[in-house]
Every structure is written in structure tokens, then in C-alpha cells.
A and B are shown apart, each in its own frame.
Chain A
């Protein structure tokens, strides 16, 4: 046992000791550790990465830069992998990036109907709903209905383009820059960019609500 993050042997109050998955995963980690196949400290490091380092703030920085810098937005359209790597965001589940830009006519929505493909390098780990059957089944057939469940009611005339992530391309939605944010610097702009706005289940926050 090593590391303070290796906390599954501790007795935190929120542990559910009736959960059979808790016992199952503990047993698996014990076996793999004893056999020298898995280093518990490596697990800690992976968890810490996605709890503290890699998350939607990365994607928000990309969006804010695209809003503030037309040359960057153009690069992002042509070669999102390189443009995003320029900001230091690379790696697992972000190896092949595509940026898709919302317009007044067209709203983009990203889903993975077959599993849970998601751009980890810019958004971190996907939320539970993104991986769950209700979203995966309906995003491609009833996107307006799905968006309404997020409180997002689009003009019925707005075209919805759904990107089903069936291969290794990972999609980042670039939401429309909200009115009233003129002259803001990238840091302030990034504060308007929600995770859901980069999946397409939301819009960027209006400045008056930020």
C-alpha cells in the first residue's frame, strides 16, 4: 500500500460497504498488485490527473482563444489537433481532434452511440449521463427532445447536426460567443464556457449570468 490517495482501504464515511462492486474491485486490485501487474501508486496518479489536471477548463481555454483570435479559430477549424496541442492539451482520447463551430443556423451535438468516446484531453472524464443509454439512444433521433431535458430549447428551425463519434476522431463543439462579451480577455471569456456547451447540450453562459 502506498500513497495517501490509495484510500480505498480506508473507511471513509461515504463508502458504501454494501456495494458488491466495491468488494469486486478491491479483490481485483489486490490480485493484480500481488502479481506485480498493477502499481497502486500509478492508479492514484491516473485518478489525480483527471481530478485535478485534465478537465473542461482545458477546453474552455481553447474556446476562449478561438473567440478572441480569428487566426487561431481558423487554425482550429483546419487542424484542431495541432491548434489544441499548441495550448498544451494532448494525449489519451484527444489524439485526433476536430472542432465543430456552432452558427446562428446550426447547432452541433456530440454523442457516442456505441460506447463513451469523449475528448478527454480537453473535457476530462465524461459525465455519467453521456455514457448512459438515454442519451446515447436518443441524441441521434430526437436531439431537440434531449436538449430540452438539459433546459435548452432551440428555435425549432435551428438545424441540429449530431456527430456520432464512431471512430477515433474526438469532437469539441465551439459554442457561439455570447453577446455582451466584447472586449473581454481570454481568461474572462473562458469563464463563460461550460462543459455542456462544448458537448452541445448547452450554450455558453451569458455575461450577465456569469
Chain B
């Protein structure tokens, strides 16, 4: 979707503000928000793509007005409601009022180290030969799906060069919506500054994205 999250090349947000000796968390609630997000995800009822899509589906005014842990919190509430674990009434009351969906799994403290060390690999075998090869010129599709995608707007319809051909990876565009993993090959595609930003672009600049095969066509 052409959502508020798709920030590449947008203007008006001001300078970057690096913090000296930035703490891990700026408030205790951020710690709990991180933990809740990971624990809720570990129940196994949604995947990382659905989770990302819940974040980018926040209203733009909310998205831009929120810190990142606030974005996470709002998104995990959406996911918990969508999958029947909590209701709006419960969130409003701050109390459990009814039984919800039974969880597939509940993450216990003793299992946290193994869960984090294992992660969630997204590579999958793909039988078909790669459609594109390293060095080949490709064009990104000019597509504007209303659902989840990982092709940023600033690289759509642009011509670049395949730099690396990777193996198969879960396709976020379908996986985010419960339509299956549909693994496709992934390519690192590099674009020049002028291709992306026109004649006034920084001449020293190149930018790459990692693009699934269906995002690309021969140039």
C-alpha cells in the first residue's frame, strides 16, 4: 500500500537527531511494548509480514505522530483484536472480560533464549531457475497494490542492474494477508542517483533494494 511508512525521498521531517549515549529504552512502557509484541507474535497466529502491514495501515496522522514503540503497540492491539484475543471493550476497560481465541503457544521465560536465537528464517526452496542474472538490466514494476508490498514507491518503474541473485524467500505481498508464503527468488537491484532522483541527484549515490522476482521485469 502507498502508506505513511513508505518514506524514501519524502521531505519536511527535519534533521536527523542522533542522541549521545542513547538508552536502550526511553521509558519502562517501551520495554513492556517490545516484550508484548514478541510474546504475542510467538503465539503463532500471525507472521512478521502481517505485523508490518498492521503498522503501516495506521492512519498517516497517527503513524507520523507516534514513536516507534507506540506504532508497535497500536499494531499489536490491531492484531490481537483481528485474531479474537482481545476486544475493544477490554482495551477500554483495561480488564479481561471474556474468553478469547485459545493460543497455539504461550512463550515461557525459559524458552526466550532459544526463541530469540532461532529467529524466524524466511528463506524457502524455489525450484525454478532464476529469471534474471547478475549484471542484467531490469525495470521495477509500476505497481500500487492496496495490500502489503515491499517495493518502495521511490524505486517503482525505475531501471537498475541486478547485482546479486539470492535464493527463495517468502513473498510478503501474499504472506501478510494469509494467502500463503509463495516463495520467490530475491534479487539485489542497484539504481543510480539520477535514475531515482533526476539530474540534480547526488552523482556519487547508488541505492539498492532487495526485490522479489515478481517485482521486476526485463528492461
Instruction: Write the residues of chain A forming the contact surface with B, with a CB cutoff of 8 angstroms.
Output: 3, 7-8, 12, 14-16, 19, 21-32, 34-39, 41-47, 49-51, 54, 90-96, 113-116, 121, 124-125, 127-129, 131-138, 140-144, 146, 149-150, 156-169, 196, 201
Would you give the shortest CB distance from A23 to chain B, in whole angstroms? 8
Are B22 and A127 in touch, CB under 8 angstroms?
Answer: yes
Cβ contacts under 8 Å, A91 to chain B: 116-119
Q: Does B181 contact A (CB under 8 A)?
A: no
Are A95 and B119 in touch, CB under 8 angstroms?
Answer: yes
Partner of B96, one of A35, A54, A150: A35
A42-B108, A114-B152, A166-B209 known; 10 other A-B pairs, CB under 8 Å? A8-B32, A22-B27, A35-B85, A91-B116, A92-B118, A160-B205, A161-B190, A164-B210, A166-B151, A166-B210
Cβ contacts under 8 Å, B91 to chain A: 27-28, 31
Docked Cα-Cα span, A16 to B155, in Å, equals: 41
Closest residue to B8 on the A side, CB-wise?
A113
Closest residue to B24 on the A side, CB-wise?
A51
Docked Cα-Cα span, A19 to B9, in Å, equals: 32
With contact pairs A137-B10, A164-B8 given, residues A38 and B33 touching in the complex (Cβ less than 8 Å): no
Are A90 and B8 in touch, CB under 8 angstroms?
Answer: no
Closest residue to B11 on the A side, CB-wise?
A137
Cβ contacts under 8 Å, B202 to chain A: 141-144, 160
Taking each of B39, B86, B91, B155, which has the highest tally of chain A beta carbons within 10 Å of its own beta carbon? Answer: B39
Partner of B73, one of A28, A38, A94: A28
Smallest CB-CB A-B distances: 5 pairs: A43-B35, A27-B94, A167-B210, A113-B8, A41-B109
Closest residue to B51 on the A side, CB-wise?
A115
Would you give the shortest CB distance from B133 to chain A, in whole angstroms? 19
Q: Does B15 contact A (CB under 8 A)?
A: yes
Closest residue to A22 on the B side, CB-wise?
B29
Partner of A92, one of B29, B69, B116: B116
Are B40 and A38 in touch, CB under 8 angstroms?
Answer: yes
Docked Cα-Cα span, A124 to B22, in Å, equals: 13
Partner of A113, one of B6, B35, B108: B6
Tally B residues with Cβ within 8 Å of A. Answer: 94
B70-123 with Cβ < 8 A to chain A: 70, 73, 76-77, 80, 85-86, 90-91, 94-96, 99-100, 103, 106-109, 111-113, 115-123
Instruction: Write the residues of chain B forming the contact surface with A, with a CB cutoff of 8 angstroms.
Output: 5-11, 13-19, 22, 24-29, 31-36, 38-40, 43, 52, 55-56, 64, 67-70, 73, 76-77, 80, 85-86, 90-91, 94-96, 99-100, 103, 106-109, 111-113, 115-123, 150-152, 154-155, 166, 169-170, 172, 186, 188, 190, 196-197, 201-202, 204-212
Partner of B206, one of A35, A131, A157, A159: A159
Are B123 and A45 in touch, CB under 8 angstroms?
Answer: no
Docked Cα-Cα span, A113 to B19, in Å, equals: 20
Closest residue to A169 on the B side, CB-wise?
B210
Are A42 and B112 in touch, CB under 8 angstroms?
Answer: yes
Would you give the shortest CB distance from A84 to chain B, in whole angstroms? 12
Cβ contacts under 8 Å, A12 to chain B: 28
Partner of B150, one of A32, A161, A166: A166
Would you give the shortest CB distance from B167 to chain A, in whole angstroms? 9
With contact pairs A136-B8, A165-B210 given, residues A158 and B204 touching in the complex (Cβ less than 8 Å): yes
Cβ contacts under 8 Å, A201 to chain B: 18
* 10 examples of A-B residue contacts, CB within 8 angstroms: A28-B86, A42-B39, A49-B116, A95-B120, A96-B123, A125-B34, A128-B22, A161-B190, A164-B210, A166-B210
Cβ contacts under 8 Å, B29 to chain A: 8, 19, 21-22, 24-26
Cβ contacts under 8 Å, B32 to chain A: 8, 25-26, 29, 43
With contact pairs A28-B77, A49-B113 given, residues A149 and B13 touching in the complex (Cβ less than 8 Å): no
